[in-house]
Chains A and B, each alone.
Chain A
């Protein structure tokens, strides 16, 4: 008996935590999402009327921000992948004695608050930072162009903030590649590019899938970058949810939007994982 019970006992803390802090709030959120204002009630007073069309209204009103969230998240994920892959590759294969030190550098930004790092980007891309004057002197941007309060700044902020989430899983899977497989590929007359395409990349796919998911999912729901680095024309769905909840005190719409966001992400991730064909690796 004791042997059978042990695994369940070990699962208990995890399940208890998930139940209290995930399942219960989700149920609460689901209940809230179909409520409507109490007739003649005060701000923030809602009653259950099972109005499922809250979902349709919420989606239709905010299609634009939904679309923007996924486009920004996708661009940020691809950029992060393009930056992180060579980085992880270099650390894993060429890092040598400095490997651990380089990994610490990747994680180092986490020692500072996420918000402060984002605010710092505002200074870097601001009028009195060094980027804008440099680009102006080089004639790349006009005198009236600013970099903050733009889609560019939002995507850059997201790429930067989520870069470590891309780098670490990539490093973990590239580091596991046996260098002898690369030698074998060379012995079989594959050139560097073919070796990468046929050996390194497929072996590192678990890292690519994990890294892209860890970047894309939080990026799609992110609102900090858009709030600090964006403008009214770059608002993402996270900003709408924040505004609905805190500013308009419209809890049902905020809840419906959150659920829709979760559902869309879940569908996208399922399709992606299927396509990537790495079920056994995730």
Chain B
């Protein structure tokens, strides 16, 4: 990578990540396809309806885009290739989990009927994983196949939706915070007031992931995300709606916010850590990311084996999960995706790959970082509907 622009102004973590030697994929092409595919998801129902589904000895994994180490030259996923070589299990990797709601909308009818959804392994975010578990759409793991399960970080080992991690294991952790263009915001953004500074008027994009955007607003208002009430939530939604109608916020988006940053249409965002670091490295340090002073949110995407998956494919999927819980493999993935690595021992392995990345608290959060990260409490189904409705209406939907 050729970097001529001064990186002095960036945070040490961002610098470390940008300086890393790992090859990354062209983000513009990636995010363009994300937006497009996200919309397309609305058009197809996907998957065949034959019970058991896929080909023999092949697992079909549906994951979020740009979320697995990828070799630009060979157009292959190195860790996945290594897994196939080692285990003899073939994999089909689909980057078509673009949005929790959209994906759920696409497969829920088949899940209800216990028919194949076209995937043996998917990675929904915590709150959506909770819904899958509540509705009985996730299979319990056979722990004998996943001895590496013990490697999960203590902080992630017992979430409220799956206290013993019987059906879910974290794929990556995601921090949400502020992202900005370092030219228009040379001092960076640490508070909501700095986000809504005059130079960003009409050029702010916030995440369409409700718990991240409203979570960050709530935190800045001093609300504890574990105890948030309906009134507090609606109050924060009104705050966002006001910023939309006053012309401060130009869009509420998923991964596509990256495209707006690169095109210059957005100068400041509420965004995701990994995305922002990849974006920064692709654009010679033009962007930076930080967790707000009042705190950011953290959530995880979870490996789930859907109920319709047959016994053989299930066992193979478990072997794959186990493989990704090997510290060395986890480190290899983290070096590419730059999200929070959920595997114990990966930090030591990262030292061998890239010592600078091993020190990044955005990938391996230290105590100081962990204290700034908050988890949104789980919502009842009634709250889930009413709060989502308010959040959608605030965006003009």
Interface of A with B (CB < 8 Å)? 37, 41-44, 61, 65, 113, 115-116, 119, 122-123, 126-129, 144, 146, 148-149, 224, 227-228, 231-235, 239-240, 242-250
A61 CA / B395 CA spacing, docked (Å): 14
- Chain B residues within an 8 Å CB radius of A224: 39
**Cβ 8 A contact of A113, one of B36, B259, B264:** B36
Apart from A146-B250, A248-B389, what 12 extra A-B contacts exist at CB < 8 Å? A37-B385, A42-B381, A43-B381, A115-B39, A146-B202, A146-B265, A231-B250, A231-B396, A232-B394, A235-B396, A235-B397, A249-B105
A266 CA / B357 CA spacing, docked (Å): 60
A224 CA / B249 CA spacing, docked (Å): 20
- 21 pairs across A/B with beta carbons < 8 Å? A37-B385, A43-B381, A115-B35, A122-B259, A122-B265, A127-B265, A144-B202, A149-B251, A224-B39, A227-B39, A231-B251, A232-B251, A244-B392, A246-B42, A246-B101, A246-B102, A247-B101, A247-B392, A248-B392, A249-B385, A250-B385
B36 touches A116 (CB 8 A): yes
B251 touches A249 (CB 8 A): no
A148 touches B265 (CB 8 A): yes
A43 touches B131 (CB 8 A): yes
- Chain A residues within an 8 Å CB radius of B12: none
DSSP class of B's interface residues: helix, strand, loop or mixed?
A: helix
**Cβ 8 A contact of A228, one of B35, B40, B101, B384:** B35
Given A44-B108, A232-B252, are A243 and B397 neighbors across the interface (CB < 8 Å)?
yes
- CB proximity to A under 8 Å, residues B354-397: 381, 384-385, 388-389, 392-397
B381 touches A41 (CB 8 A): yes
Is B134 engaged at the interface, CB distance under 8 Å to the other chain?
A: yes
Is B311 engaged at the interface, CB distance under 8 Å to the other chain?
A: no
B309-337 to A contact mask, C-beta < 8 Å, 1/0:
00000000000000000000000000000
Given A42-B381, A126-B265, A127-B265, are A243 and B392 neighbors across the interface (CB < 8 Å)?
yes
A37 CA / B304 CA spacing, docked (Å): 27
* B101, B201, B245, B249: most-surrounded residue (chain A CB, <10 A): B101
Is B15 engaged at the interface, CB distance under 8 Å to the other chain?
A: no
B395 to chain A: closest residue by CB: A232
**Cβ 8 A contact of A248, one of B35, B245, B265, B388:** B388
- Chain B residues within an 8 Å CB radius of A129: 263
A224 CA / B134 CA spacing, docked (Å): 33
A42 touches B396 (CB 8 A): no
Residue tally, chain B, CB below 8 Å to A: 40
A42 touches B135 (CB 8 A): yes
Is B26 engaged at the interface, CB distance under 8 Å to the other chain?
A: no
- Chain A residues within an 8 Å CB radius of B32: 116, 119
Chain B min CB distance to A69 (Å): 12
B252 touches A128 (CB 8 A): no
Given A239-B397, A243-B392, are A43 and B384 neighbors across the interface (CB < 8 Å)?
yes
Chain A min CB distance to B282 (Å): 15
B396 touches A115 (CB 8 A): no
**Cβ 8 A contact of B397, one of A42, A146, A231, A247:** A247
Chain B min CB distance to A50 (Å): 21
**Cβ 8 A contact of A245, one of B105, B134, B201, B259:** B105
B244 touches A232 (CB 8 A): yes
A115 touches B40 (CB 8 A): yes
Chain A min CB distance to B208 (Å): 8
Is B60 engaged at the interface, CB distance under 8 Å to the other chain?
A: no
A128 to chain B: closest residue by CB: B264
A279 CA / B384 CA spacing, docked (Å): 50
A239 CA / B105 CA spacing, docked (Å): 15
B245 to chain A: closest residue by CB: A233
- Chain A residues within an 8 Å CB radius of B384: 43
Is B149 engaged at the interface, CB distance under 8 Å to the other chain?
A: no
Is B211 engaged at the interface, CB distance under 8 Å to the other chain?
A: no
Chain A min CB distance to B182 (Å): 16
A43 touches B385 (CB 8 A): yes
Is B104 engaged at the interface, CB distance under 8 Å to the other chain?
A: yes
Given A233-B245, A247-B101, are A149 and B388 neighbors across the interface (CB < 8 Å)?
no
A244 CA / B249 CA spacing, docked (Å): 22
- Chain A residues within an 8 Å CB radius of B263: 122-123, 126-129, 148
